[in-house]
């Protein structure tokens, strides 16, 4: 019996000690918070304005020929003349270069030892063979020069019918990319220039790049600029949706609760206050429900609840000053901060 009373007494002492420690800790935290200058949340004002909004899928890619054709000589021999250079647009059947077969090259070389008349005679009797363009397109590479000896396996010129962008789209975004969809291409070498195009083809088979499953998407460019070259690295934005001249607000001002969205509307702004500076919230603001539309993650469309020119409040957090919206109380449940949570 005495042992039971002694055990109960010890438990009461332990509970009292723990409770005392918690109370002392809470008092210490409150004193420390006051010394640290913990203040009420501060806000910045944001004016509701009209503007454009677009949703994009981003991808990387490269410029490449849609159909790449390597032109090889019909026989072994020597290049006599090359009539085109890189960047030349040619038509089907156009003579691109001339060459001598091995036998003709030997015959002409032997005639040179006998004088110009002998060379002219044999050149007239034994014509050089032409190398012609098999289809219309653009010369994108020239691999030979006059006088160079070649075989039938050597590539003389490389041509393409047109340049396209081959983009790699993550499988998680593929469902939002459609044929004939608009795309904006930016080349790394000319970042200030935007090139417009549309989706030409979407691959049916995936491939793995750096442990990521991607699909090749071909983008045909409208009016390709003269500076676009095969092999250039490109960034591609596939336009999913866009709105023009809509009411929009930053995502940061929106509060979400129980599936509903709301904002703090400033009802009586202080004209003497600089709207760009954070200020403590007073009774000049009220929470109102809003209906939202399209969002790009940074801005969101406002369908109902606000008008152009309204001023809403965004909670400001001072970085580096140790001053935040609501200090964290280590004795509150889950470390309970006083600031509101955002989605």
* Distance between CA atoms of residues 195 and 228, nearest Å: 10
323 band by pLDDT with thresholds 50, 70 and 90: very low
pLDDT the model gives residue 335: 42
Residue percentage of the chain with pLDDT more than 90 = 49
44 band by pLDDT with thresholds 50, 70 and 90: confident
Which of the pair, 268 or 318, is modelled with greater confidence?
268
pLDDT at 26 over 70: no
Other C-beta atoms lying within 10 Å of the C-beta of residue 124:
8
Same fold? 40-53+245-335, 70-160: no
User: What is the mean pLDDT of the segment spanning 216-238?
Assistant: 92
* Distance between CA atoms of residues 191 and 184, nearest Å: 12
User: What is the mean pLDDT of the segment spanning 165-172?
Assistant: 95
71 band by pLDDT with thresholds 50, 70 and 90: very high
pLDDT at 70 over 60: yes
CA angle (182, 291, 339) in 5-degree steps: 105
Other C-beta atoms lying within 10 Å of the C-beta of residue 266:
21
18 band by pLDDT with thresholds 50, 70 and 90: low
User: What is the mean pLDDT of the segment spanning 14-25?
Assistant: 58
pTM confidence score? 0.58
* C-alpha closest to that of 248 among 298, 289, 285, 316: 298
Q: Which CATH class is domain 70-160?
A: mainly beta
CA angle (287, 292, 294) in 5-degree steps: 150
User: What is the mean pLDDT of the segment spanning 250-267?
Assistant: 88
- Map out the domains of the chain as residue ranges: 40-53+245-335, 56-65+162-243, 70-160
Model pLDDT for residues 109-150, shown as the tens digit of each residue: 999 989 899 999 998 899 999 999 998 998 989 999 999 999
As a whole number, the mean pLDDT across the chain is 82
218 band by pLDDT with thresholds 50, 70 and 90: very high
Answer whether CATH 3.30.2000.10 is correct for domain 40-53+245-335.
Answer: no
User: What is the mean pLDDT of the segment spanning 262-281?
Assistant: 65
CATH superfamily of 56-65+162-243: Efflux pump adaptor protein, beta barrel domain (2.40.30.170)
Give φ, ψ of 63 to 5 degrees: -80, 135
pLDDT at 39 over 80: no
């Amino acid at each position: 019996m005495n042992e039971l009373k002694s055990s109960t007494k010890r438990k009461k002492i332990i509970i009292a000690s723990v409770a005392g420690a918690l109370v002392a800790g809470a008092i210490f935290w409150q004193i420390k918070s006051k010394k640290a200058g913990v203040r009420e949340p501060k806000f910045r004002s944001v004016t509701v304005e009209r503007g454009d909004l677009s949703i994009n899928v981003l991808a990387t890619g490269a410029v490449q020929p849609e159909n790449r054709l390597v032109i090889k000589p019909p026989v072994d021999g020597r290049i006599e003349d090359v009539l085109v250079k890189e960047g030349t647009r040619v038509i089907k059947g156009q003579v691109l270069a001339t060459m001598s077969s091995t036998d003709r090259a030997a015959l002409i070389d032997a005639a040179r030892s006998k004088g110009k008349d002998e060379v002219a005679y044999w050149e007239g009797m034994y014509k050089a063979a032409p190398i012609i363009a098999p289809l219309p397109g653009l010369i994108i590479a020239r691999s030979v020069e006059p006088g160079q000896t070649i075989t039938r396996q050597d590539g003389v010129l490389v041509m393409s019918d047109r340049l396209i962008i081959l983009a790699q789209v993550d499988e998680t975004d593929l469902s939002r990319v459609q044929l004939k969809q608009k795309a904006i291409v930016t080349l790394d070498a000319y970042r200030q220039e935007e090139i417009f195009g549309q989706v030409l083809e979407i691959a049916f088979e995936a491939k793995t790049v750096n442990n990521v499953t991607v699909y090749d998407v071909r983008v045909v460019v409208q009016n390709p600029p003269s500076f676009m070259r095969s092999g250039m690295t490109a960034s591609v934005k596939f336009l999913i949706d866009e709105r023009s001249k809509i009411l929009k607000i930053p995502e940061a001002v929106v509060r979400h609760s129980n599936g509903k969205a709301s904002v703090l509307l400033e009802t009586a702004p202080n004209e003497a206050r600089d709207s760009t500076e954070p200020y403590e919230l007073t009774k000049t603001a009220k929470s109102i429900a809003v209906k939202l539309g399209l969002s790009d993650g940074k801005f969101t469309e406002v369908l109902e609840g606000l008008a152009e020119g309204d001023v809403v409040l965004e909670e400001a957090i001072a970085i580096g000053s140790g001053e935040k919206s609501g200090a964290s109380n280590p004795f509150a449940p889950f470390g309970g901060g006083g600031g509101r949570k955002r989605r």
